[in-house]
Structure 1
Amino acid sequence: MQRVSESVIQVIINSWRTGTNKQYDLAWQKWVIWCKSRGYNPKHTSEVDMLAYLDLLIENGKSYSVINTHKSMLIQTLKLFNNSWCENPRFIARFMKGVFNKCPPKPKCDSTWDVSVVLRYLSALMPLESLGLKLLTYKLVALLALSNAPRSQTLVALKLSNMNILKGKVEFMFTNLLKTSRDTKFKMVPSHFENESLCVMHTLLFYVSKTENNRLSGQLLISHCTYKAVTTSTVARWLKDVLAASGINDKFKAHSFRSASVSAAFMHGCTLQEILRTADWSSAKNFKKFYLRDVEQNTSDYSRAVFGDN
């Protein structure tokens, strides 16, 4: 294998998304510390050394997901430093199968909350004209999270400049890269229902109108205090606040909106193909592992499967 230049290495590193880079950077730092404590060169090592390191992670009680992250980072990174054994490691794949059997990955919760409980709370936040900006923001964020099963990153990426108001619907296009973005463009279409108390589109347009004269950001979701752009952590906190106000057990975090939404959609008959498209999954693997249930699949409208007949 020919030596790869530093500039090429940097370009390859840029191929990883921000979240992956953060995970890999932390894993690499731990690897470097382990190697130096044993007098090894962290950039040039053997498969046996890597197996010893991964085995230590097992001894330290790390989950399969954490161990797999370290494995992926090391294989991809060590290739760049001309470790030829990384092209065809003899034991790594078999080792990881053993790790999977010993401590298989599990969802954080073996159940999810009842979507109807949160919908009842949200529907009670009416009329919209009576709501302060904080409650209006909470309602919009929660409705978007339930109707499209987005990640917090996706909600933060919604921009007014990419919003198109069409006949009977609103559509958002994404110009920046999301977690699973490929070459094709991804879009979000907030749902429109006759029942305005749960109509995502009606709530969204009212929110845009109410914040129009004060907003200091082109991002759709802005702080209800400063009117500036917000981060994913802020959106996640809002979603947790909605769960608390709805009376949902505090063991559930913001990301549980995604699992609750897709589980409800599938249980009410939404097709697997529509769920994967709406939730922006490239394959059914994760959904089948964590959410799949034996129900009849005959509905093609994701949001109506979640919200019922609203």
Structure 2
Amino acid sequence: MACRFTAINLTDLIKDNETATHKNYDQVWKQWALWCHSHGQSAVEYNPFLRVVEYLVLTEALAYATLNNIRSAIASVSRVIYSTKPPLASHPAILGFLKAKQRRFLKLPNIHEEAFDIQMITNHVLSWGPTAALPVAKLQLKALYLLTVATMWRPRSDLGKLQFRDLSITTAGLTVIARHPKEGKPKTSKVGGRVANCETCPVATMEEFIKKTTHLRSTLAPDHTLFLANLESANSINASSTKAVLLGIPKDTVKVYANWSLNASTFEKYYFKPSNQHARGAEINTKTFGTATENRTTSGVGVERGLEAYNHILRLRFGNVTILICSLLH
């Protein structure tokens, strides 16, 4: 079948996706096209059952979200080329495969996972020494960490893409703007005030970082990223937001500050991970089993009967189940 792909179609396709999503789709499409080429098939032919499902089956070991992303990437191109045909993304064969994948691999909500205590990371960062004495590489990591905790933003997709021109520092505090966040719309965060301890102050640390990297930016464009090297940081978005809630700050306040929708459950599903979760059942277990020692000596007859029944179970463990049950009832 001939490919009806025009320049107008290509323009529509590019405009249809956000920058980050488009880049991701490009990578997925390249892998899909290489696979089709290696099998002597066309990557743009409309044949969902024989091609896409077969490709998804071969990559079944991947996570459900990754497989769903592959489906969306291939469908985004097919939607433009074959605008008059049924959407590829909603083809019954493809949806059936993904539903089966989702049923086989149950993922518990993130609330059952525990977020690390950010104080441990903070103490480690402070062990590097005074901010003013840190080398640029260490200073950048410290600035990134403190800014991640203060803004509750993603260190890679938000702060990693933060442009130098989108940072402003005044006497009132620090303001950053994310032009293309995962949420889709630009967002801003205002880190107000300065912490009394300048060694843990995001504003003071960022000022020092800007001062020490001024000579490195002399030949860079204004839209160059704020951070200059490869980023390696802990995932602090869930830790900082969880810590704020556990300290008594209302969830709605945290959501507004972190640019999350009040009506959505993004925070509860993905970022709220309270630590020491085993302590939740401590009180129940204490009350349930804590009286065992106290009652042990108050009913000797009951204990003797219990031991007698237990020994009887051991004697009949290989016997008839019905006889065992009847003997226990007596």
TM-score between the two structures when normalised by the length of structure 2: 0.65
Partner of 2:177: 173
- Aligned partner (choices 78, 93, 97) of residue 95 of structure 2: 93
1-side partners of 2:40 and 2:226: how far apart? Answer: 50
Q: Deviations over 1:186-209 (max 9, x none)?
A: 222235322323111122223334
1-side partners of 2:164 and 2:92: how far apart? Answer: 51
2-side partners of 1:286 and 1:143: how far apart? Answer: 23
Query: Equivalences for 1:67-106 in 2 at 5 Å?
Result: 67-82=67-82, 84-86=85-87, 89-104=91-106
Determine if the alignment matches structure 1 residue 235 to structure 2 residue 231: yes
2-side partners of 1:194 and 1:37: how far apart? Answer: 62
- Is the Cα contact below 8 Å between 2:152 and 2:258 reproduced in 1? yes
- Is the Cα contact below 8 Å between 1:122 and 1:198 reproduced in 2? no
Partner of 1:130: 133
Partner of 2:53: 51
Query: Equivalences for 1:278-293 in 2 at 5 Å?
Result: 278-281=257-260, 284-292=264-272
Report SS of the residue matched to 1:173: strand
The amino acid across from 1:43 in the alignment is V
Partner of 1:257: 236
Seen in structure 2, the aligned counterparts of structure 1 residues 92 and 286 have a Cα distance that, compared at 3 Å, is farther
Total equivalences in the alignment = 261
Report SS of the residue matched to 2:204: helix
Seen in structure 2, the aligned counterparts of structure 1 residues 159 and 92 have a Cα distance that, compared at 3 Å, is closer
The amino acid across from 1:79 in the alignment is R
Structure 2: runs of 5 or more not aligned: 276-330
The amino acid across from 2:244 in the alignment is A
Q: Deviations over 1:220-248 (max 9, x none)?
A: 745xxxxxxx25xx122xx3xxxxxxxxx
2-side partners of 1:293 and 1:137: how far apart? Answer: 27
Report SS of the residue matched to 1:155: coil
Query: Equivalences for 1:1-310 in 2 at 5 Å?
Result: 5-36=6-37, 40-49=41-50, 50-58=52-60, 61-82=61-82, 84-86=85-87, 89-104=91-106, 110-124=113-127, 127-151=130-154, 152-174=156-178, 176-182=179-185, 185-191=186-192, 192-212=194-214, 215-216=217-218, 217=220, 218=222, 221=226, 230-231=228-229, 234-236=230-232, 239=233, 254=234, 256-281=235-260, 284-292=264-272
Return the offset for 1:70.
Answer: 1.2
The amino acid across from 1:171 in the alignment is T
Return the offset for 1:94.
Answer: 4.0
The percent identity for this pair of structures is 20
Return the offset for 1:100.
Answer: 1.2
Seen in structure 2, the aligned counterparts of structure 1 residues 204 and 105 have a Cα distance that, compared at 3 Å, is same
Return the offset for 1:102.
Answer: 1.3
1-side partners of 2:35 and 2:250: how far apart? Answer: 47
1-side partners of 2:169 and 2:97: how far apart? Answer: 53
Return the offset for 1:258.
Answer: 2.4
1-side partners of 2:36 and 2:118: how far apart? Answer: 48
2-side partners of 1:280 and 1:75: how far apart? Answer: 30
Report SS of the residue matched to 1:154: coil
- Is the Cα contact below 8 Å between 1:35 and 1:41 reproduced in 2? yes
The amino acid across from 1:162 in the alignment is D
Q: Which has the larger radius of gyration?
A: 2
The amino acid across from 1:116 in the alignment is Q
